[in-house]
Amino acid sequence: EAQVTQNPRYLITVTGKKLTVTCSQNMNHEYMSWYRQDPGLGLRQIYYSMNVEVTDKGDVPEGYKVSRKEKRNFPLILESPSPNQTSLYFCASSLRGRGYEQYFGPGTRLTVT
Amino acid sequence: GENVEQHPSTLSVQEGDSAVIKCTYSDSASNYFPWYKQELGKRPQLIIDIRSNVGEKKDQRIAVTLNKTAKHFSLHITETQPEDSAVYFCAVNAGGTSYGKLTFGQGTILTVHP
């Protein structure tokens, strides 16, 4: 089954404790992105990747890191999480040339206390 | 950067009525305008999109119109049904790029009352 998976789905952590949210897709998509969703603010892009080892900042990259060492994986790293990073996070992927048609993962609900 | 404004933030209609959601954008280079639907507790899913060289596109009960001169585009849902209740997001491809750099609107919560 073609899909985007994320882990964990739910995470409660404390301020400053490094964490990684994994994202994997099995559709051989070139493009991958991370978004955060907050009430009233819609979906805001954190980082996106056009291919292996090619990443760029989205609209809200502060406090986040990403890497794209393999085509199928695009982990999101929070080196020192803070309460304002409490949010619902989505990973997405899309085919080359069809970046507007994004396939989203199931989401990760992150709470930072 | 690209700025996308979406209105209204909430929309309540009776079953069978039409619903219209409008988005404005700032970057004249943008040329793809997708719409996503997110049901409660689910992930966003693409429902329709329009390119800048097309003024209108229809798919059954949903349609998208685009006015490039005025930089706005709208989602039209006719004969609404309770299963249309969801959050709808418009998006634009920043800078006219095709590699997945999307800017989303703030979302519209649509409620269809039976």
- Reported as a single tens digit per residue, the pLDDT across B82-93 is 999 999 999 999
Residue in A with minimal Cα distance to B99: A99
pLDDT at A54 over 90: yes
Task: Specify the pLDDT at position B95.
Answer: 80
Q: Checking DSSP bridges between strand B86-93 and strand B32-38, what pairing results, if any?
A: antiparallel
Amino acid letter, residue A93: S
pLDDT at B96 over 90: no
H helix count then E strand count, chain B: 0, 11
Separation CA A37–CA A58 (nearest Å): 14
Helix H or strand E segment including B71: none
| Length of chain B (residues) | 114
Asked if A45 and A63 touch (Cβ cutoff 8 Å), the reply is no
- Cβ-Cβ contacts under 8 Å, A107 against chain B: 43
Of B32, B45, B89, which has the smallest distance from its Cβ to A100's Cβ?
B32
Note whether A31 contacts B100, CB cutoff 8 Å: yes
Note whether B49 contacts A43, CB cutoff 8 Å: no
Average pLDDT of the segment spanning B89-103:
87
**Both tokens assigned to B61:** 């009960």
Mean of per-residue pLDDT scores for chain A: 96
A106 in B contact zone (CB under 8 Å): yes
Note whether A100 contacts B45, CB cutoff 8 Å: no
- Reported as a single tens digit per residue, the pLDDT across B13-68 is 999 999 999 999 999 899 999 999 999 999 999 999 999 888 999 999 999 999 99
pLDDT at B99 over 80: no
Task: Specify the pLDDT at position A38.
Answer: 95
- Reported as a single tens digit per residue, the pLDDT across A3-39 is 999 999 999 999 999 999 999 999 999 999 999 999 9
Separation CA B63–CA B56 (nearest Å): 7
Task: Specify the pLDDT at position B54.
Answer: 84
- pLDDT band at B94, cuts 50/70/90? confident
